[in-house]
Structure 1
Amino acid sequence: MKNNHHLTIFRSLFVLAFLFVFNPIAAQGPSNTPSSSNGFWKNVQFGGGLGLSIGSGYTDITISPSAIYNINSIVGVGTALQFGYVSAKNDYTSTIYGASLITLVNPIPEIQLSVELEEINVNTNYKYYGVSDSFWNTALYVGAGYRTGNVTIGARYNVLFDENNSYYNDAFMPFVRVYF
């Protein structure tokens, strides 16, 4: 029952993100002026993250594409997808997928504040014990970073963190954001 509830939340987030990104295009309607047809897209930035960690019997691969719509020079909103694979030789393999919604606020050009709601599904197969585990993890991050150009470096904190029921080891997480 709990997994169905989280699946419903995930689907709702995905539909909202989809509608947010594509609804403004339809709402603009047809126009004869060339500049108005790309007015929405000139405020969109694409970015995301790639992660690769390989060691002795350990592999961690993460891909997280994202898009941000800049409402104005201070506020931006967007969505991201997340895919991951982790393997520890003779111990476990884990696949991760999910989505997030993010709001970015730049009170001054060098400072970026953020709020991010993330919902991910974690599927883990423990080789030694021959058991599998699958669960949904919800995180609500508040963060701050230093911004220069298209790059922001900072930290975020998961206010919903529960050390007994979380995919992550810690509520505090550093980040690097790059949007073009």
Structure 2
Amino acid sequence: MKFRHIRNFLIATIFLISFYNVSGQDFNSHVRYGGGIGLSFGNGTFSGSLSPSAIYQFDKSFALGVGLNVGYNSWKNHYSSTVLGGSLIGLYNVIPEIQLSAELEELHVSRKYEYDGGNFREDFWYPALYLGAGFRTGNFTMGIRYDVLYDRDKSIYAEPYAPFVRIYF
């Protein structure tokens, strides 16, 4: 999937939200913000990530939003990677306590390996489509999601399954 596909999805999302807003709803009262922060380090390794997101809560059951993903990983003198991308997310509460989600993520991955004096570099786009389910209480949701497009050779994640925690204010 190319960047233009993400751009088209973002334009469609903004159009839908704008159309809904024109129908008399107060836009700002329906927007919720959240995201994630990750930090890990030790013995020559470092990993950091920042993933802000915003959703538009159409009603008590349905929300649609966008997110930004930025990450950096390194292993002293051996490996480094930079990850930049965006995502579209849809959330549906079957009942107030059970939330289903679908998230389309497109990441640009830049990896650099240095072993035995040799260097190897790769740059590529990696798409992911996560389907998930979680338990929700108030602004907090925790659950598990599965990447249906998972490719073991290209993914920055070790497995297609991943636990998640979401908090939107």
Normalising by structure 2, report the TM-score.
0.90
Cα contact 1:14–1:99 (8 A) shared by 2: no
Secondary structure of 1:127's counterpart equals: strand
Secondary structure of 1:90's counterpart equals: coil
How far 1:69 moved relative to its partner? 0.6
Number of matched pairs:
166
Structure 1 CA distance, aligned partners of 2:21 and 2:53? 23
Q: Which runs of 5+ in 2 are unaligned?
A: none
1:50-65 equivalences in 2 (<5 Å): 50-65=37-52
User: Given residue 9 of structure 2, which amino acid in structure 1 is its aligned partner?
Assistant: L
Structure 1 pair 170–28 and aligned structure 2 pair: CA distance change class (3 A) = closer
2:28 corresponds in structure 1 to: 41
CA RMSD for the aligned pairs?
Answer: 1.9
Structure 1 pair 67–22 and aligned structure 2 pair: CA distance change class (3 A) = farther
Deviations 1:152-173 (A, max 9, x none): 0110001111223322210000
Structure 1 CA distance, aligned partners of 2:52 and 2:6? 16
Q: Normalized per residue, which structure has more strand?
A: 2
How far 1:121 moved relative to its partner? 0.8
1:77-156 equivalences in 2 (<5 Å): 77-128=64-115, 129-156=118-145
How far 1:148 moved relative to its partner? 1.0
Structure 1 pair 155–164 and aligned structure 2 pair: CA distance change class (3 A) = same
Structure 2 CA distance, aligned partners of 1:120 and 1:90? 24
Q: Normalized per residue, which structure has more helix?
A: 1
Structure 1 pair 27–71 and aligned structure 2 pair: CA distance change class (3 A) = closer
Cα contact 1:10–1:98 (8 A) shared by 2: no
Normalising by structure 1, report the TM-score.
0.85
- 1:13 matched to 2:3? The reply is no
Identical aligned residues as a percent: 46
1:173 corresponds in structure 2 to: 162
Deviations 1:100-144 (A, max 9, x none): 111100011111100111110110111223121111111111100
Secondary structure of 1:11's counterpart equals: helix
Structure 2 CA distance, aligned partners of 1:23 and 1:72? 14
How far 1:15 moved relative to its partner? 4.5
